[in-house]
Amino acid sequence: MRHMKVGLAAAVTAALALSGCGSPSANNNSGGGGDTSAISTQQNALDPTAKGPAAEVPGAKKGGTITVYSQSTPDSFDPTDIYYTDSGEIAKLIFRTPTQYAVRDGKSVLVPDLTDLGTVSDDKLTWTFKMQSGLKYADGSEIKVEDLAYAIKRSFAHDVFANGPTYQLTYFKDGDKYKGPYTGGDTYAGVETPDATTLVIHLAQPFADLPFYLTFSAFAPIPKEKDTKENYKNNPVASGPYQFDAFTPGTELKLKKNTNWDANSDAVRHQYVDGWDFKWGQEDVKTQQQVLNSNGPDANALNYAPIDASLIPQLTGDKKAQLLQGDSPCNYAVNLDTRKIPLEVRKAIAKAYPSDQIWKAGGLNSYVAEPSSTILPPSVPGYTKYAPLPDLSGTGTGDPAGAKKLLEAAGKVGFELSWYYDNTKPIPQQTAQIRADALKAAGFTVKPIGVTTAELRAKIADYDAPVNMGQGPSGWCSDWPTGGSWFPVLFQSHSISDGISWGLLSDKELDAKIDAIAALPAEQATAKWGELDKEIMGKYVAIPRYYVKMATVIGSNIGGGVGDGTQGEPFYVDMFLKS
C-alpha cells in the first residue's frame, strides 16, 4: 500500500509553517477569532442510478477562461502516475474513469462514469463492470473497454510510474507477480474483457471499496497503440471535457474544449468555460492577493493553495465571498511508538501535551484547521464524534503535574522521550522547544534531535531510528472516503514494514478485526469503522492534532465554486464565469 496523497498535506504544512501567525478558533476554548465553522460530517453516499448530463449549476454561463495559480507544481499528468491531490483534481477535467464523485450539496457522492458501480460475485473475488458504449476520445477515436483493461495493466508498471497508487498490487489477482505490460506482457489474470461493454476484475482478497478506487485517474482509459510510456504525460489522450492545448512542464498548462466529449453521458462534469490556464511557480501570497483584488483578468482567477494567514484580515465585506471553503480528507497527529512506550506512559504524554501552545506557534487558524480527537476526519463516512478520550481532544494547555502523577504511579519518572525536528526553520524549532519544556515539566527526560530539512523525511520514516515518538506519517489523507483507506493502511502489522503506521501496532487480533470489516460491503462497514476508531484511540497510539480544512481564494467573477471533499481541492468541473 502507498503513502498518503501528500499533495494537499504538503501544501497545508508548508503554508502553515510559513504563515507564522494566527490563532485557534473560538469554538475550541483556546481563544482567537476567524471563521469557526466546523468541518461537516460526510454520510456514505452512492448513487448507482446517476446518469448524464450532470445537473446544471444555478446561474451558470458559458465562455471565457479561468486562470489557476499555485506556487507548487503538480508532479505529473500521466494518469497512471498521478497520486497528488492537485494533479488528481485537475485530471478530472481531462480524464474520465470507470466511476467518479459528484458533489451534491457540498457532499461527495460516488456515481457511475464510464461504467456502472459494479456487481460483485458471491465469493467477493470477482467484480463485473458494464461500460457505456459510443464514447470518444478527443481525437475522435472510440473509447473501448480494452482501453480500461490496458490502464489497469499499465498501473502495475511501477518501474516506470513510481508515484501512482498501489492498492492493486495487494488486492488484485497476481498483483504481487505481474509487472505491467512493458515487461510482463499483455496477458494478466486479474482483468478480462469478455465482450465490448464488460470489464471483469479478479481479486486476490475481498475489496469492497473497489468502486471507490476506480475513481483514480490511474484507471482512466488509455489506448495501447497511443501509449508513449514516459512521454505520455506531455500530451495524454483526453476523455474528459478538456484536452491539452499547450504545456510547459513545471510552468503552465493550457486546456481547451474537447469537442468529442459527450455531456449526455457524463453525470459529473460540465464544460462551461472555453479553457483553463494553470500557472505554477509564482509566490502563493502574491497571487492570492491578486485574486482577492480581482483587478482585470484576476477576477477570473483562483489560487488553490491554502489561504495565507496574513491575508485573512482582508476577508470582510465583498471579499468574504471570495473565500472558497470545504472539507479535506486529511488528519494530523503525533505518532507514538507503542513498541517502545508503555500504555501508562503514553497516557502521561497525552496529559502533558501542550496542544494549544503548539497550535498557536505553528500558525494554525480556524480557516485551515480544526482540532482533532479521532482517527477518521469528519469528511470520511464512519467518523463518529465520540467524547474525546482523556487528554486526546487536540486542545488544552497540558497538565504537567497530573502527568507526573501518572508517571510516578507507573514507576516511570525520568522516562526518555526522543523525536526528530527540523532545526533549520524557526517554527519547528519553536514547537519542538514548547513540547520539550512541557514534557520535561511532567517528569520526562527529553531528547529532541535537530536535523536539516533535507534529512528530516528519511529520519522520521526510519522505524528503527533511536527515537520513540514523532515518526511518520505525521498526517494521513483518505485515498477514498471510507475507513478502508485508513485502518488497513495505518494499523495492521504489515503497516510497520510498509513504513506507514500510526502507533506501530503489531496485533494479530486487531489485524483480523480490520480484515473482517474491510471485507464487508461499504454500507455495512461504515459504522464498524467508527467503532474501531474509538477502540484504537484507546490504545493511545497518537496525540491528535488537527483535521485539515480547505480554504482557498477565488476571483470575484467565478461562479459555481464548491470544494471536493475527496481531494480537499476546488471542484473545477462545476465552475463558470459570471460575466
Domain assignment of residue 394, yes or no: yes
Q: What is the DSSP string of 355-390?
A: HHHHHHHTT--TTTEEE--SSS-TTSTT---PPPPT
Nearest to 238 by CA among 140, 145, 149: 140
Instruction: Compute the half-sphere exposure of residue 95: CA atoms within 13 Å on the CB side of its CA.
Output: 30
Q: If pLDDT is split at 50, 70 and 90, which confidence band does 248 have?
A: very high
Separation CA 36–CA 367 (nearest Å): 7
How many Å is the Cα radius of gyration of the chain? 24
Q: What is the pLDDT of residues 414-461, one digit of tens each?
A: 999 999 999 999 999 999 999 999 999 999 999 999 999 989 989 999
Domain assignment of residue 339, yes or no: yes
pLDDT at 75: 85
When mean pLDDT is compared across 106-110, 238-242, 268-272, the lowest value belongs to 106-110
Over range 131-159, report the average pLDDT.
97
Q: If you count them, how many residues does the chain have?
A: 579
Over range 103-128, report the average pLDDT.
96
pLDDT at 467: 98
Give the domain extent around 370. 6-41+326-549
Separation CA 454–CA 354 (nearest Å): 27
Domain assignment of residue 179, yes or no: no
Over range 150-176, report the average pLDDT.
94
Q: What is the pLDDT of residues 120-137, one digit of tens each?
A: 999 999 999 999 999 999
Q: If pLDDT is split at 50, 70 and 90, which confidence band does 24 have?
A: very low
Separation CA 368–CA 549 (nearest Å): 5
The domain that contains 543 carries what CATH number?
Answer: 3.10.105.10
Q: What's the one-letter identity of residue 336?
A: L
Domain assignment of residue 500, yes or no: yes
Separation CA 292–CA 276 (nearest Å): 19
Domain assignment of residue 285, yes or no: no
Question: Which 8-state DSSP code applies to residue 469?
Answer: B
Domain assignment of residue 294, yes or no: no
The whole-model pTM stands at: 0.85
pLDDT at 327: 87
Across the chain, which distance is largest between two alpha carbons, in Å? 74
Instruction: Give the residue, 107 or 260, on which the prediction is more confident.
Output: 260
pLDDT at 40: 54
Separation CA 282–CA 481 (nearest Å): 32
Count up the domains in the chain and report the number: 1
